[in-house]
Amino acid sequence: MKHIPIYLKVLLTAILIVLLVKTFAFTSCTIPSTGMENSLYQGEKILVNKWSYGLRLPFTSAHFFSKRAERGDIVLFNNPNPADKEAPIFSRELFISRCVGIPGDTLMLNRELIVTGKRSLSPDSKQLYAYPYELEDSLQSVLSQLGIQDNPLVGYSKGHHVRSFSHYEAYLLRQKLGTGCKLNLLHENDSADIHPLVIPSRGKAVKVYPWNMTLLCNTILHHENRRATIKNDTLWVDGRPVSDYVFQKDYYWMASNNPVNLSDSRLFGLVPHDHLIGKACRIWYSSREGRFFQYVQ
């Protein structure tokens, strides 16, 4: 039997290394839409670190050395609400979004939108906020850092500037500006329809309210694998009414950079940890100048 030529050994070794890296360390994906601009542009190709949230073995959804995603991560994950609910998690469509709510977080939500065929709530409706004029320079700097676009000055009110922000944008600004942030709703009564949504955390009870009932019902039914339904404005789980529910998994709220784009948790609901694949880390192809191997933010 003849020896295998050296060039063939090199080729086979290279192929094996690439397969191992792609399977266990990094994968690549193409940005399919404009939803993540200006962080990622449609058509760009990125590397995803598959160790960011623990190792997920091929053809399974099990994580080893599991770690939670962090607020602000741009995450690659499997569709949590596919048309075929019986499809294995690893075979489902790939989505990419920014993590804005981690297990245990509370998001302030308003405005109803369709989620999994029923009504749910959105953190992204715009409202008017007022802030002291002397905060203008700091605010402009933070807006640029966060990539928040299309927020022109819309007016003045009693020595204050007025701009339009979503609740999430206002949250980000307050986090960045810290104690010096005096960003307030222009009309305080606008907050009357704002409700808190607790992001479920494994082993923790989440109280059921009218504004989170449908979202929790869908999550329990499709991801906790329990019988859940809503009867007469009450959540029923496994045949009995409940006022709270202890979740068995960690969940995340994912959002697009562009609030007009609905390819995020407003559409497909909460994302379980076992759907996470990895964190976007580097751009390896872009038609835009100066973006090659740029770090994803």
Q: In whole angstroms, what is the distance from residue 17 CA to residue 22 CA?
A: 9
* Neighbour order of strands in the sheet with 251-255: 26-30, 45-49, 276-285, 74-78, 94-101, 251-255, 271-272
Look up the CATH number of the domain holding residue 67: 2.10.109.10
Q: Is residue 150 part of a domain?
A: yes
CA dihedral 62, 67, 72, 77 (to 10 degrees): -10
pLDDT for residue 56 is more than 90: no
At which of 193, 222, 239 does a domain end? 193
Computed over its alpha carbons, how large is the radius of gyration of the chain?
Answer: 22
Q: Is residue 29 part of a domain?
A: yes
* pLDDT value of residue 119: 39
Q: What is the dihedral sign for C-alpha 105, 266, 45, 294?
A: negative
Is 4 exposed, middle or buried, given 0-12, 13-18 or 19+ CB atoms closer than 10 A? Answer: exposed
Look up the CATH number of the domain holding residue 146: 3.30.70
Amino acid at 142: V
Collapsing DSSP states into helix, strand and coil, what is residue 160?
A: strand
Q: Is residue 17 part of a domain?
A: yes
What backbone torsions phi and psi does residue 174 show, to the nearest 5 degrees? -65, -40
Residues 35 and 84 in one domain: yes
The mean-pLDDT minimum among 57-61, 112-116, 131-135, 176-180 falls in: 112-116
Q: Is residue 285 part of a domain?
A: yes
Q: Is residue 204 part of a domain?
A: no
Tell me the whole-structure pTM to 2 decimals.
0.70
Give me the mean pLDDT over the 42-70 stretch. Answer: 84
Residues 149 and 187 in one domain: yes
Residues 50 and 96 in one domain: yes
Q: Which domain holds residue 279?
A: 1-105+251-297
Q: Is residue 218 part of a domain?
A: no
Cβ atoms of residues 199 and 107 within 8 Å: yes
Residues 46 and 88 in one domain: yes
Residues 97 and 46 in one domain: yes
Q: In whole angstroms, what is the distance from residue 207 CA to residue 139 CA?
A: 36
Residues 78 and 31 in one domain: yes
Q: In whole angstroms, what is the distance from residue 274 CA to residue 62 CA?
A: 6
From the list 220, 273, 285, 287, the residue with the least C-alpha distance to 75 is 273
Residues 79 and 35 in one domain: yes
In tens, the pLDDT along 211-225 reads 888 899 999 999 999
Q: Is residue 239 part of a domain?
A: no
In tens, the pLDDT along 235-281 reads 999 999 999 999 999 999 998 876 555 667 878 899 999 999 999 98
Residues 45 and 98 in one domain: yes
Question: What total number of domains does the chain contain?
Answer: 2
From the list 214, 207, 221, 144, the residue with the least C-alpha distance to 176 is 144
Residues 89 and 36 in one domain: yes
Residues 146 and 60 in one domain: no
Q: Which residue has the higher pLDDT, 118 or 103?
A: 103
Residues 90 and 9 in one domain: yes
Q: Is residue 113 part of a domain?
A: no
Residues 1 and 60 in one domain: yes
Amino acid at 75: V
